[in-house]
Amino acid sequence: MNKQTKVWLVLSIALSLLALGSACSGGGDHKETTNTSTTADAGPYSGPTGTISGVISYNGTPPAPRKIDTTADPVCGQKNPNLMTDDTIVKDGKLANTFVYIKEGTVEGGKNVGDYSWPVPPTPIKLDQNGCHYAPHVLGIMVNQKINITNSDATQHNIHPTPKLNPEWNQTQPNGAPPIEKTFARAEQMIPVKCNQHPWMKAYIAVMKHPLYAVSAADGTFSIPNVPVGKYTIVAWREGQTPEEQPMEVTVTANGTAKADFAFPKAGAATSSTKPSLQMVPAIEFPMLGKH
Ligand SMILES: [Cu+2]
């Protein structure tokens, strides 16, 4: 084998490893976390569990909510004359609408958290359009769990999620139309939802393979119960004027509560004028290679 052939061989092996890695990680800024394999099914988890809970704080002075100009649709202005932006909702220094979830981790005994099968709750997740505003603003849902979308306004909305890993769709929903029911077949965080009628309307959906997630409440608190005993990487995501996320390692013990307090923006992090790199750069997850 001459020298050139050897170089080609090494290069092509490296490239195919890379391709394999990126095929698994999904690519783009939408991420599918936990396990993508359908073969490693450890069945439902039935061992000891604990809780992960914490408080999301906001560092410094939060940006003031901005008034939304709704003149494009008088119905919106009549019902909701003081509609404000809700990308950063802070009360007494605590941040609402932060999505906290187990990204990956090892359950005691050595199995990946995503290797277990997690039953899909039969109750649909509700997303309402009221006053030309989505409620809730940030929501989690499990793969194949129903989302039930309602229109409480005397005007027409057009719901338009823009996923990367799931099929994109948009559907009009006039006043009085029945709820729209949909499911998402693949895990993906975070799917932006917009309205083609009202450009200010925005929501985010996290589609999860497991139920181990929570959204911070108005007082910044969150709690994830029934977490199998183990060690995990959890991620807190918040929208802000540019989305930002932070990882944290936690250890869950039987009947224990693992504390996981976060603070946004991260000290020294980019502000709204510049783009933070953390959220937008997909990790090359070489550990995925082991799951094939
Ligand atoms: Cu709308």
| Pairing status of strand 49-58 against strand 257-259 | parallel
pLDDT the model gives residue 8: 60
One-letter-per-residue 3-state SS of the chain: CCHHHHHHHHHHHHHHHHHHHHHHHCCCCCECCCCCCCCCCCCCCCCCEEEEEEEEEECCCCCCCCECCCCCCHHHHHHCCCCECCCCCEECCEECCCEEEEEEEEECCCCEHHHCCCCCCCCCEEEEECCCCEECCEEEEECCCCEEEEECCCCCEEEEECCCCCCCCCEEECCCCCCEEECCCCCEEEEEEEECCCCCCEEEEEEECCCCEEECCCCCEEEEEEEECEEEEEEEEECCCCCEEEEEEEEECCCCEEECCEEECCCCCCCCCCCCHHHHCCCCCHHHHHHC
pLDDT of residue 269: 56
Would you state the pLDDT for residue 41? 83
Distances 278 to 15, 35, 269, 275, 283 between C-alpha atoms, Å: 24, 21, 10, 9, 9
The pLDDT tens digits along the chain (292 residues) read: 555 655 565 555 555 544 444 444 333 457 766 544 444 588 999 999 999 999 999 999 999 999 999 999 999 999 999 999 999 999 999 999 999 999 999 999 999 998 999 999 999 999 999 999 999 999 999 999 999 999 999 999 999 999 999 999 999 999 999 999 999 999 999 999 999 999 999 999 999 999 999 999 999 999 999 999 999 999 999 999 999 999 999 999 999 999 999 999 987 655 544 444 444 433 333 333 333 3
Distance 279 CA to ligand 1 centre (A): 27
* Span from the CA of 126 to the centroid of ligand 1 (angstroms): 16
Any idea which residue has 């013990």 for tokens?
253
How many angstroms from the chain centroid is the CA of residue 149? 18
**Residue type at 64?**
A
CA distances from 117 to 41, 177, 246 (A): 6, 36, 26
Query: What is the spatial distance between Cα 269 and Cα 267, in angstroms, rounded to a whole number?
Result: 5
For residue 173, list its beta bridge partners. Answer: 157
Task: Give the pTM.
Answer: 0.80
Asked if residues 235 and 246 have their Cβ atoms less than 8 Å apart, the reply is yes
Neighbours of ion ligand 1 (CB under 5 A): 157, 195, 197-198, 201
Ligand 1 geometric centre to CA of 43 (Å): 41
Tracing tokens 């109750």 back to the chain, one arrives at 123
Whole-number Å distance, alpha carbon 239 to ligand 1 midpoint, is 20
Q: What is the pLDDT of residue 42?
A: 85
With 0-12 / 13-18 / 19 or more C-beta atoms within 10 angstroms meaning exposed / middle / buried, residue 114 is buried
**CA geometry: angle 202, 206, 212, nearest 5 deg:** 140
How much distance in Å is there from the Cα of 233 to the middle of ligand 1? 36
**pLDDT at residue 137, as a whole number:** 98
C-alpha of residue 152 to centroid of ligand 1, in Å: 11
Give the distance (Å) from ligand 1 centre to CA of residue 254.
45
- With beta carbons less than 8 A apart as the criterion, state whether 128 and 135 touch: yes
Residue 278 pLDDT: 41
pLDDT, residue 192, reads 98
Which pLDDT does position 2 carry in this prediction?
A: 57
Apex 171 CA angle, 170 and 172, nearest 5: 135
pLDDT at 274: 40
- Rounded Cα distance between 203 and 192, Å, is 6
> In 10 A of CB 283, how many CB atoms?
13
